[in-house]
Amino acid sequence: MDSISNIIAEVLEINGLGAFAGCKQLEQYSRLYSEVRSANEKFNLTAITDPTEFAVRHIADSLSAAEFIPPHSTLLDVGCGAGFPSLPLSIARPDINITSLDSTAKKTAFVSRTASILSIDRLTAICDRAENAAHGPLRESFQVVISRAVARFNILAELCIPFVCQNGVFIAMKGERSAEEASSASDWIGSLGGSLPEANGFILKGEASDLSRCILVSRKVRKSPEDYPRDFSKIRRRPLS
Interface residues with ligand SAM (CB under 6 A) are: 79-81, 84, 101-104, 107, 129-131, 148-150, 159, 232
Smaller CB separation from ligand SAM, 24 or 227: 227
Which residues have C-beta within 8 Å of that of residue 132, sequence separation ≥ 6? none
Residue from 169, 227, 165, 232 nearest 196 by CA: 169
Cα separation of 145 and 17, whole Å? 21
Smaller CB separation from ligand SAM, 97 or 104: 104
In the complex, minimum distance from the CB of residue 230 to ligand SAM, in angstroms, rounded to a whole number? 12
Smaller CB separation from ligand SAM, 148 or 220: 148
In the complex, minimum distance from the CB of residue 232 to ligand SAM, in angstroms, rounded to a whole number? 6
Residue nearest to ligand SAM (CB): 81
Distances (CA, A) of 167 to 119, 142, 218, 222: 31, 10, 10, 8
In the complex, minimum distance from the CB of residue 86 to ligand SAM, in angstroms, rounded to a whole number? 8
Which residues have C-beta within 8 Å of that of residue 228, sequence separation ≥ 6? 134, 158, 161, 162, 191, 192
Smaller CB separation from ligand SAM, 12 or 172: 172
In the complex, minimum distance from the CB of residue 23 to ligand SAM, in angstroms, rounded to a whole number? 26
Smaller CB separation from ligand SAM, 187 or 231: 231
In the complex, minimum distance from the CB of residue 102 to ligand SAM, in angstroms, rounded to a whole number? 5
- Cβ-in-10-Å burial (0-12, 13-18, 19+) of 237 comes to exposed
Smaller CB separation from ligand SAM, 104 or 195: 104
In the complex, minimum distance from the CB of residue 129 to ligand SAM, in angstroms, rounded to a whole number? 4
Provide the H-helix boundaries in 150-209: 153-160, 178-182, 185-192
Cα separation of 107 and 44, whole Å? 10
R_g of the chain, CA atoms, integer Å: 17
